[in-house]
Amino acid sequence: MGVSSGMMYGAGVASVGLSFVAWLASQSAEKAGVDRADRWGIFIGEWAPTFFAMGIALRMEETREETRSSADQESLRGSYSEGRMPSRAGV
């Protein structure tokens, strides 16, 4: 889908910063008090762990794909150097 683990880590860090900004803006702009500002800050701050978890999952997938593609390339090099066509039976 074009989303990388780095993007998810960045979204997690941005969520922490946005949480602070939302808390500060709600506290100064609204007259509802500190309780409402705390709720806004916590609401946005809860997104960060989700973004970080998605970043970890994407990193694992990226690593697996890199390992698989390098193993495939090694297999192809060995087959061609022996003068025979590579087999796709194991793929």
Q: Which pLDDT tens digit goes with each residue over 18-54?
A: 888 888 887 777 676 677 777 778 888 888 999 999 9
Residues 58-89: pLDDT tens digits? 999 888 877 876 766 666 666 555 566 656 66
Among all chains, which residue has been given the structure tokens 């390098």? Answer: 70
**According to the model, what pLDDT value does residue 86 have?**
58
State residue 87's pLDDT score. Answer: 61
**59: in domain:** yes
- For the chain, give the longest Cα–Cα distance: 79
How many structural domains comprise the chain? 1
Does residue 85 lie within any of the structural domains?
A: no
| Residue 84, in any domain of the structure | no
Write down the pLDDT at residue 22.
83
**Tokens standing for 1?**
């889908």
What pLDDT shows up at residue 25?
80
- 34 domain residue, yes or no: yes
Tell me whether residue 58 is in a domain: yes
Residue 75 lies in a domain: yes
Segments forming the whole domain that contains residue 63:
5-79
